[in-house]
């Protein structure tokens, strides 16, 4: 047999060996799967459940726990979950019992089982006063992709606001969410006490790029001219005018309100002498309104005039002229005087 024939024969034998190995592996996996299916059949779940009931009746609650747990692992029925929680409660494993009563309540609400809801609620009411508890709450909505843990164990978002049974001592709550700073809070819970943990997430601050300040550029020297002084006086006069109008409007509004009150209290224009002060108050408010309107009109008119003059002064090619302006106020009047 030449070398080529030997090589071909060796290749065929290796290929046949691989096919045989694959067939054997598939057969082993199939047998294992069948064995698991047989071991996890509903009959086994029912047998383990009845075994747990029998053990609980004998007062062997820890053994009943294991039987109920094995049954629930095969078939997570609500009745089996109730039996597990009750066995844990009687065995003194209150933290686990509280967790399973809470799970039963959530499932019963979701699956519309009123009878199990009542049983789960009764179990929680019986267990809660006997365990330490933590309540995790958040003032803002926590995103679905957030991670919530209590002592490193995941906490379902649906458990926010619910009491979670814990062993007495120190515990750590940690919340992480994309776009937010990590939140961590350590609490110490006394036996049969409750601690509230308020989760507050702060948005992650974006990195601030370094800003290089531009080199300062020399500013041209400002030349004070006549129109600058006029324009400043125009702004001042206009501001005083606006303040006067605002004050006059307020006083006018108050005067109208006082007048309405007096009218309501004086039917037929006949007023009680005790309302004399109210009448005088209304007159005073009316006078202040007139003064405010007068100051406002004069101030705004003066401001407009000075601004127009400053514009003409800035455009003129003649030599600048010294200017000054001042506002003069008097009883019920206002005016502007100066040289332009």
| Domain parsing of the chain, residue ranges | 38-129, 131-203, 226-339
Rg (CA), the chain: 45
Q: Which CATH code fits 131-203?
A: 2.60.40.1120
- Per-residue pLDDT at 334: 53
| pLDDT number for residue 89 | 93
Question: What's the rounded Cα separation, in Å, for the pair 328 and 337?
Answer: 7
Q: Quick one: what percent of the chain has pLDDT higher than 90?
A: 33
19 pLDDT above the threshold of 50: no
pTM, two decimal places? 0.46
Average pLDDT over residues 52-58: 94
Q: What is the pLDDT of residue 315?
A: 62
CATH of domain 38-129: 1.25.40.10
Nearest-angstrom CA–CA distance, 64 and 53: 7
CA distance 146 to 135: 18
Q: Which residue in 44, 41, 89 sits closest to 65, CA to CA?
A: 89
Angle in degrees, 0-180, between the axes of helices 226-265 and 276-315, rounded to the nearest 10: 160
Phi/psi for 198 (5° steps) reads -90, 115
Buried b / exposed e over 94-123, threshold 16 CB at 10 Å, is: bbbbbbbbbbbbebbeeeebeebbebbeeb
Q: Which of 122-136, 210-224, 231-245, 314-328 has the highest mean predicted lDDT (pLDDT)? A: 122-136
Helix (H, G, I), strand (E, B) or coil at 46: helix
The label of the residue with tokens 């009542």 reads 118
């Amino acid at each position: 047999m030449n070398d080529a024939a030997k090589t071909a024969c060796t290749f065929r034998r290796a290929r046949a060996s691989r096919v045989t190995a694959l067939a054997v592996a598939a057969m082993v996996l199939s047998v294992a799967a069948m064995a698991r299916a047989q071991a996890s059949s509903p009959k086994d779940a029912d047998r383990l459940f009845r075994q747990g009931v029998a053990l609980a009746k004998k007062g062997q609650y820890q053994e009943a726990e294991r039987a109920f747990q094995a049954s629930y692992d095969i078939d997570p029925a609500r009745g089996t979950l109730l039996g597990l929680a009750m066995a844990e409660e009687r065995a003194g494993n209150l933290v686990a019992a509280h967790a399973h009563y809470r799970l039963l309540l959530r499932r019963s609400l979701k699956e519309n089982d009123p009878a199990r809801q009542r049983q789960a609620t009764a179990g929680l009411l019986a267990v809660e006063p006997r365990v330490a508890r933590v309540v995790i709450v958040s003032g803002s909505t926590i995103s679905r992709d957030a991670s919530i843990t209590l002592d490193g164990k995941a906490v379902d978002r649906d458990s926010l606001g619910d009491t979670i049974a814990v062993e007495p001592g120190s515990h750590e709550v940690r919340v992480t969410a994309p776009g937010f700073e990590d939140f961590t809070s350590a609490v110490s819970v006394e036996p049969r006490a409750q601690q509230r943990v308020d989760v507050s997430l702060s948005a992650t601050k974006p990195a601030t790029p370094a800003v290089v300040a531009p080199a300062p550029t020399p500013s041209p020297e400002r030349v004070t001219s006549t129109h600058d002084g006029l324009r400043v006086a125009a702004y001042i006069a206009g501001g005083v005018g606006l303040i006067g109008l605002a004050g006059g409007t307020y006083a006018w509004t108050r005067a109208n309100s006082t007048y309405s009150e007096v009218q309501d209290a004086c039917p037929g224009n006949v007023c009680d002498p005790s309302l004399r002060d109210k009448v005088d108050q209304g007159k005073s408010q009316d006078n202040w309104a007139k003064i405010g309107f007068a100051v406002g009109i004069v101030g705004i008119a003066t401001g407009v005039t000075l601004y127009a003059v400053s514009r003409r002064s800035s455009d003129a090619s003649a030599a600048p002229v010294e200017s000054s302006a001042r506002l003069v106020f008097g009883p019920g009047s206002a005016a502007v005087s100066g040289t332009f």
